[in-house]
Amino acid sequence: MKALLERYNKVRQYTESIFKPLAVEDYIAQPIAIVSPPKWSLGHTTWFFETFILETYKPGYKPFDPVFAFLFNSYYNNAGDRILRHKRGDLTRPTVAEVYNYRHYVDKEMNRLLEIEIPKEVQELIELGLQHEQQHQELFWTDLKYTFSLNPLGHYYEDSLPFSEKAEPVKINFITFNEGLVKIGYEGDGFCYDNELSRHKVFLHDFEIADRLVTNAEFIEFIEEGGYEDFNCWHDEGWKWVNENQINAPLYWEKEDGIWTYYTLEGRMAVKPNEAVKHISFYEAFAYAEWKGLRLPTEFEWEAAADHFQWGSRWEWTNSAYLPYPGFSKAEGAVGEYNGKFMVSQMILRGASLVTSPLHSRKTYRNFFHPWERWQFTGIRLAQ
């Protein structure tokens, strides 16, 4: 139990460290439905441990506040009613201090639980809770960035960041793979999500995949040569999205006095040409590949090739829809709602991003978002 106890406290402490420089006012804002306020996210990640572990496996456990189950449930229908997603920012109460008290109350009870020997099934559920919190740690960064970017005062994250950008190599090479059967999906004794199972064989035709991501400089060429105005590059749905939303550049980009700038967690600055482009929707990734006369890799090609290139700075769009693997099955109850019910109208991203938490990435990880979403650190790797 000692290792799991140490991991629990380390993950929980990292969450709080992200919010350390925030003012109380920063905890409440919710500019759009998909961006959750920090206060709600702190409560939700705590609710997960209280609801799925303490209330079930700790005899005599008394919830901190029964109303919090309604406030901080996200989408688990089996766990009861919940506040609507777009209404999370309406919660002026509980106060930020009360949410932190809730968090520390649950942490104290979890530490007591982890000081004794507990069944393997409970240990596995705690690990799922920690992985869930790490997912939200990444969302904390991306949600904060989106919210701060809308502030006309030029607000930014007022502390040192635990991550930094690296430039992509100047030269791009394509790695060749011959056709054949490959094994796809997680295999091993460590943690994985249910959507990474079960391991199975997939036949791949000959393909080539880029050894690096598309850079800002390369994407600027697409913009300035009319990529956003050429309907031939776009899916019909993507073309509609571009026109209805007047999209002409990646999220956070603006052109000032002929120079492209973007908003970052350190403030607005000139776009760095050799960094991998980020905050790209699937629509934009597809259109760029089409403009280049290339394509996006499938998730199976990406996984088969992942050991042959560097990855981890961007979630990389693939040309694969989010669907179950052969033999996929959902767990009973609320935990079964974690992944399976979202297997419709979403696209797969592979890899990890600059803001993905430590020890939370693997080449079989299947991230998924709607094709128009781009507030995550998403990028492009080309294939042919």
Per DSSP bridges, beta strands 259-264 and 200-204 are unpaired
Q: What is the arithmetic mean of pLDDT over 141-159?
A: 95
Does position 330 have pLDDT exceeding 90, yes or no? no
Q: What percent of the chain has pLDDT over 70?
A: 100
Q: What is the arithmetic mean of pLDDT over 272-278?
A: 98
Domain ranges of the chain: 2-149, 174-379
Does position 338 have pLDDT exceeding 90, yes or no? no
Does position 1 have pLDDT exceeding 90, yes or no? no
- pLDDT for 352 equals 98
Q: What is the CATH number of domain 174-379?
A: 3.90.1580.10
Q: What is the arithmetic mean of pLDDT over 202-220?
A: 98
Q: In the predicted model, what is the mean pLDDT of the chain?
A: 96
Q: What percent of the chain has pLDDT over 90?
A: 93
Does position 333 have pLDDT exceeding 90, yes or no? no
d(CA 100, CA 97): 5
CA distances from 271 to 36, 260, 277 (A): 27, 6, 9
Report the residue count for the chain: 384
Single pTM value for the model: 0.96
| Model confidence band, residue 179 (pLDDT cutoffs 50, 70, 90) | very high
Which residues, at least 6 apart from 153, have a Cβ–Cβ distance to it below 8 Å? none
Could you please state the CATH topology (level 3) that the domain comprising 2-149 is classified under.
Answer: Four Helix Bundle (Hemerythrin (Met), subunit A) (1.20.120)
